[in-house]
Amino acid sequence: MVSGIIMASGFSTRLGRNKLMLEVDGLKVIERVIKACKASLLDEIILIYRLDEIKEIGMKHYIKTIYNPNAKDGQSAAVKLGVENAKKENAYMFLVADQPYLSSEVIDNLIMEYEKENKIIIPFYNNKFGMPIIFPPMFREGLLIVKGDKGGREIIEENNNLVKRIYYDDEFLGIDIDTMEDLKRISE
């Protein structure tokens, strides 16, 4: 059983505007991620938000929405809220909300790999570290004490023997939008 935690409470500072509300192929980026999650094998979906417009989209898709009052503290605040609100016995799949081409097939493949080995599952797109990442429930306590904008990176580094890397040739599946250059690249 895997809980999907969509981290959607960032500030889009590098882009200078709310990247989650940008449209890609006629659909808002956040909505594309939610739809991929809903079409997947995830047992529950939790949207961690900061802005009401993001919450409204989550509610429109009937997923659990949790307000992040500590978004300024970085990614760790969203990680903690997601873990606190997920089913305790589940593994945690952390998804970034700015990955417009993430597919339910990738999500499902990562879940199936997790179910085979019960390890931390990390995708690599064209040999580049990517998201979403799955953490087994045994890392719950560690995830609840992460700090700053690093998410679970320290847990990964400290438990390298419990990490399984899954490789995809198509880097487009893992592309995220952080800058105007990223936006231009996906628009070409």
CATH of the domain at 162: 3.90.550.10
| Rounded percentage of the chain residues whose pLDDT exceeds 90 | 68
Structural domain of residue 78, as residue ranges? 2-187
As a whole number of angstroms, the distance between CA 18 and CA 7 comes to: 14
- The two tokens of residue 27 are 């659909």
Q: Which residues pair with 163 in a beta bridge?
A: 120
Contact 106, 149 (CB under 8 A): no
pLDDT digits (tens, 9 = 90+) for 25-70: 888 989 999 999 999 999 999 999 999 999 999 999 999 999 999 9
pTM of the model: 0.92
Q: Which residues pair with 7 in a beta bridge?
A: 48, 96
Q: Which residues pair with 55 in a beta bridge?
A: none
pLDDT digits (tens, 9 = 90+) for 62-110: 999 999 999 998 889 999 999 999 999 999 999 999 899 999 999 999 9
Contact 185, 175 (CB under 8 A): yes
What is the pLDDT at residue 13?
59
For 132, residues 6+ apart whose C-beta sits below 8 A from its C-beta are: 4, 93, 94, 95, 96, 102, 107, 110, 123
